[in-house]
């Protein structure tokens, strides 16, 4: 599908307006992306925002149909006949221009469908499968927009996405429980004597819950460290934005630890002054890293291999 540059620019501006109201963190962080990436990235994030709202802002009874509508919208985008909506029109341009495989945004919608089903995760590995769909997909799409399709770089982008989602899950334990959701691996809860039904009925901070949260934070720390290896593989003008996002999310984990892992009675946030400091640190770190051989890089998580295979050149 081909659209003139002026029409596309108008649609991208509409996408950025959606993000200015609904995704303030991305809207601010995107200013550190180069222009060639900022516009398409805004389209991808606007699609994520619109899709998330389409599911979250309807009743549970209507949620399955909301996901089905999103799948139909995506089909229209890939058919070159997008709905008459700025996000759909702009997304059709982006997927054509960057040859973005449908399997990647489709996997994101699978993650939304799992939420609608109220799916729970028996093990950490099963939880990684969910994180791959709702977060690693975005990392893959961003990496493709930066012009990189190397499997090792994509693997590190997936590490970052999974780490960020684990951080989100740890931060939102209380909020999720009050909404009837639980993402913590059930085998970890069982090991410390937490019965999910009882916890959902009366969410409460406890040493046992802290132990589970700490376990997942250590997993995220490991994945953040692996993701750091990928920063040097990105184009130089894209590194600051990605390093800044990594710093902000890992700081949330550090704050959770300082608050005795209490994710039930308090919500961990990053104050503005700290965001500025983290950005300065990220700028220094990202611009000083150098490329390194891939030979000794960690293998990708099993849960994300299907995303890397979908994008792999050739």
CATH code at 73? 1.10.600.10
- Do 123 and 24 belong to one domain? no
Count CA atoms within 13 Å of residue 66 on its CB side. Answer: 20
Given 28, 62, 97, the domain boundary residue is 97
Question: Looking at the predicted structure, is the pLDDT value of residue 75 above 80?
Answer: yes
The Cα 156–Cα 80 span in angstroms is 31
- Do 79 and 110 belong to one domain? no
Given 67, 97, 127, the domain boundary residue is 97
Angle in degrees, CA 237, 294, 137, rounded to 5:
60
Cβ atoms of 291 and 284 closer than 8 Å: no
pLDDT category at 276 given cuts 50, 70, 90 is low
Mean pLDDT of the region 114-143: 97
| pTM of the full structure | 0.93
- 83-123 pLDDT tens trace: 999 999 999 999 999 999 999 999 999 999 999 999 999 99
The Cα 219–Cα 128 span in angstroms is 11
- Do 46 and 108 belong to one domain? no
Buried-state track 193-224, b at ≥16 Cβ within 10 A, e below 16: ebeeeebeeebebbeebbebbebbbebbbebb
Tokens of 228: 């750091």
Q: What is the largest CA-CA distance in the chain?
A: 60
Cβ atoms of 286 and 242 closer than 8 Å: yes
- Do 62 and 123 belong to one domain? no
Provide the pLDDT for residue 63: 94
The Cα 30–Cα 36 span in angstroms is 11
* Residues contacting residue 239 through CB under 8 Å, at least 6 positions apart: 231, 232, 286, 287, 289
Provide the pLDDT for residue 281: 72
- Do 83 and 112 belong to one domain? no
Number of neighbours of residue 6 by Cβ within 10 angstroms: 8
Cβ atoms of 226 and 220 closer than 8 Å: no
Domain range for 243 is 103-314
Cβ atoms of 244 and 228 closer than 8 Å: no
- 29-54 pLDDT tens trace: 788 899 999 999 999 999 999 999 99
The Cα 91–Cα 66 span in angstroms is 19
Name the domain count of the chain.
Answer: 2
- 219-242 pLDDT tens trace: 999 999 999 999 889 999 999 889
């Amino acid at each position: 599908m081909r659209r003139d540059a002026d029409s596309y620019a108008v649609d991208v501006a509409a996408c950025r307006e959606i993000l200015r109201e609904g995704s303030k963190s991305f809207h601010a962080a995107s200013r550190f992306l180069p222009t060639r990436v900022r516009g398409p990235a805004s389209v991808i994030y606007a699609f994520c925002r619109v899709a998330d709202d389409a599911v979250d802002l309807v009743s549970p009874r209507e949620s399955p149909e909301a996901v089905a509508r999103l799948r139909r919208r995506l089909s229209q985008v890939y058919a070159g006949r997008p709905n008459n909506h700025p996000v759909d029109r702009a997304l059709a341009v982006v997927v054509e221009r960057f040859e973005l495989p449908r399997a990647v945004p489709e996997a994101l919608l699978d993650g939304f469908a799992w939420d609608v089903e109220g799916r729970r995760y028996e093990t950490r590995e099963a939880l990684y499968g969910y994180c791959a769909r709702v977060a690693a997909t975005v990392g893959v799409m961003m990496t493709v927009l930066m012009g990189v399709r190397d499997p090792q770089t994509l693997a590190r982008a997936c590490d970052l996405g999974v780490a960020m989602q684990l951080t989100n899950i740890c931060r939102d334990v209380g909020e999720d429980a009050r909404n009837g959701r639980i993402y913590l691996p059930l085998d970890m809860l069982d090991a410390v004597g937490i019965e999910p039904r009882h916890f959902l009925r009366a969410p409460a901070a406890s040493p046992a819950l802290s132990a589970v949260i700490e376990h997942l934070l250590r997993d995220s720390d490991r994945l953040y460290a692996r993701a750091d290896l990928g920063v040097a593989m990105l184009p130089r003008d894209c590194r600051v934005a990605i390093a800044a996002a990594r710093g902000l999310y890992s700081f949330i984990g550090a704050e959770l630890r300082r608050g005795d892992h209490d994710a039930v009675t308090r919500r961990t946030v990053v104050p503005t002054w700290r965001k500025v400091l983290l950005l300065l640190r990220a700028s220094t770190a990202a611009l000083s890293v150098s490329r390194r051989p891939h030979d000794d890089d960690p293998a990708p998580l099993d849960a994300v291999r299907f995303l890397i295979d979908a994008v792999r050149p050739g």
